[in-house]
Structure 1
Amino acid sequence: HVNYGIFLPCYLIFFFFCFSTLPGLLQSMDLSTLKCFPPGQPEKFSAFLDKVVGLQK
């Protein structure tokens, strides 16, 4: 598995967050599409991310 504790923050910083575009990005985000993950079950979150980024078979 990928170490999402390091991977995800770096990915977000390098590819999505530029201070000059952050206000527009936040205004255009559809937060209703976010999914809640039960606390204490990080394997569900990592499985979801594996699927999203194409690491899951």
Structure 2
Amino acid sequence: MDDDDQSDAIDLVYDEFKVRGMVEGVSGLSPEQRNELFGRLGIPKSVQEKLYVS
């Protein structure tokens, strides 16, 4: 693997690690906290309902 490909692979693995951490953090929130967070982020209710069933 050349240097550019190796760097891209490392970036992808690190990004996946960060996403997993976020998912674990959000899944630990109560439904009310999760809804408040999603509201602050401007995520529409229709999308929120598809992500989690409160």
Higher relative contact order (CA 8 A, sep 6+): 1
**Which has the greater radius of gyration?**
2
Common fold, TM-score beyond 0.5?
no
TM-score scaled by length of structure 2? 0.31
TM-score scaled by length of structure 1? 0.31
